[in-house]
Every structure is written in structure tokens, then in C-alpha cells.
Amino acid sequence: MYICLRDETDLHNFPARDRWPADTLLKGFPRDGIAYLVRCYLFFAALFQALESELAPMKHLGMDGLAVWFDQEFGVYARKKRKEFFSLVEKKYNDQVCVQLFIFLYFALILILRMSRKALSLGPQIHL
């Protein structure tokens, strides 16, 4: 799948920039390499989930038919369908970000509770 990541100021060349994927992958780089790695992981996981949901009903076309169908539906000339597709990817990405945030908060809460219990078990020896 082709994703146009050209600069947002480049309005005259073809194909047009794919706004959401370009912004997600190129804007607001986290200073932490791990954070960017997680962003890319979530992006590509969402992309492949969306591809699976779009392609699964078309299995009956076979590889050659699927390639033709895919090019017609998602090729650089199919702007409207590409925009709809990337909206689906964005939704799946945001859903995953919410799940990842929930998991992070869950484990952070467990850690805080464990630390609190340990602090409470030490009694009056702790001075805050």
C-alpha cells in the first residue's frame, strides 16, 4: 500500500498527501525513541487490521483479482476511498491507544497500591 507522506505545504504535486498517516508518522516526534516505536507499532497494527477487514470479504477473487481490486479501490487515483480507509485506520489506531493507555494506567495503579501498602506497613517511620 502506498502512503503519500509528502510535506503538507506541497499542494501541487500528485498524488496528494495522505494527511492522517503523514501527520501520525511525521509530526510531533516524541523525544523518546521508545515512544516513537510504540506509535509506529500502533500505526502499523491498525493499518493491517483495517486491511484485513477490507480484504477478507474479497478472498474469493484470488491473488490476481485481489491485486486489481485493491489497485482500483486504494490506488493513488482513488482519493475518496483512500480517505475512508485511513479514517478506519485512524479509528483502529485510536482504539489501540485507548487500550494501551488503559493497560498502562492499570499497571501504574497496581504499582501505586503496592507502594502504598508497603509504606503503610512501615508505620510512623515514614516522614512525608
- pLDDT tens digits for 40-82? 888 999 999 998 888 888 888 888 888 887 777 777 667 788 8
- The reported pLDDT for the residue numbered 73 is 75
- For residue 32, pLDDT over 90 is answered with no
Domain assignment present for residue 125? The answer is no
Q: Which distant-in-sequence residues (6+ apart) come within 8 Å of 42 by Cβ?
A: 93, 96, 97, 100
Domain assignment present for residue 69? The answer is yes
Please say whether the beta carbons of 37 and 95 come within 8 A. Answer: no
What sign for the dihedral angle of Cα 81, 83, 85, 88?
A: negative
pLDDT average, residue stretch 25-37 = 79
Domain assignment present for residue 127? The answer is no
- The reported pLDDT for the residue numbered 126 is 54
- The reported pLDDT for the residue numbered 21 is 92
- The reported pLDDT for the residue numbered 89 is 93
Domain assignment present for residue 105? The answer is no
Neighbours of 24 (CB within 10 A): 20
Query: How far is CA 36 from each of CA 3, 24, 65, 69, 102, rounded to the nearest angstrom?
Result: 18, 10, 36, 33, 19
Domain assignment present for residue 122? The answer is no
Domain assignment present for residue 104? The answer is no
Q: What is the 3-state secondary structure (H, E, C) of 6-24?
A: CCCCCCCCCCCCCHHHHHH
pLDDT digits 0-9 by tens, 79-127: 788 888 899 999 999 888 777 777 777 777 777 777 777 666 655 555 5
Please say whether the beta carbons of 81 and 12 come within 8 A. Answer: no
Percent of the chain with pLDDT over 90: 12
97: left (phi over 0), alpha (psi -120 to 50) or beta: alpha
- Structurally, the chain folds into a number of domains equal to 1
- The reported pLDDT for the residue numbered 120 is 62
Domain assignment present for residue 54? The answer is yes
- The reported pLDDT for the residue numbered 76 is 63
Domain assignment present for residue 126? The answer is no
Lookup: cell for 63: 491473488
Note down the domain range covering 71.
Answer: 19-93
